[in-house]
């Protein structure tokens, strides 16, 4: 399920997908903080130390363990060119729209659109069960 930080509490012990901007990595590489599309700081806990520098936009898939914490199963760093042009607000809005309409656009993502799509998917999961469960 694609979520923003506001929705994490609803998915305790469930697997979620969160896109955000890397803020700070712990020196030993066992965790990092990221800013969610709805401007909250989320703690990401790694099962193994991170072996690469993390910066820019990242997508994390993992299990929600606390209100604002996820144990990471996998992650994908966005390419720097995409991360530089990533607009959090537009992505949040786009996420809301996709949730309402069940449509996905091919425009580059941004955090605001992403957050909007997450909220839309949450509000419409009875109508779009395949999108809500992904």
Q: Averaged in consecutive runs of 10 residues, what is the pLDDT profile of the chain (134 residues)? A: 88 93 95 94 96 91 94 89 66 59 50 65 52 38
**CA–CA–CA angle 43, 46, 52 (5° rounding):** 105
Domains, the chain, ordered by start: 5-78 (2.40.50.140), 84-132 (no CATH)
Question: Residue 108 carries which DSSP code?
Answer: P
CB atoms within 10 A of CB 51: 7
Distance CA 95, CA 86 (A): 14
pLDDT of residue 45: 98
pTM for this predicted structure:
0.69
Helix (H) / strand (E) element for 84: namely helix 80-84
pLDDT of residue 80: 77
Nearest to 51 by CA among 71, 33, 25: 25
pLDDT of residue 93: 63
pLDDT of residue 79: 78
């Amino acid at each position: 399920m694609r979520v923003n930080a506001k929705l994490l509490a609803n998915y305790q012990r469930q697997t979620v997908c969160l896109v955000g901007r890397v803020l700070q990595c712990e020196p030993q590489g066992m965790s990092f903080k990221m800013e969610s599309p709805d401007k909250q700081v989320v703690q990401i806990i790694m099962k193994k130390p991170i072996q690469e520098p993390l910066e820019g936009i990242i997508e994390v898939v993992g299990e929600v363990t606390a209100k604002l914490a996820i144990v990471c199963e996998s992650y994908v760093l966005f390419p720097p060119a995409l991360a530089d042009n990533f607009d959090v607000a537009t992505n949040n809005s786009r996420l809301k729209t996709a949730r309402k309409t069940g449509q996905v656009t091919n425009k580059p993502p941004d955090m605001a659109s992403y957050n909007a799509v997450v909220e839309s998917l949450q509000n419409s999961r009875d109508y779009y069960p395949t999108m809500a469960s992904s």
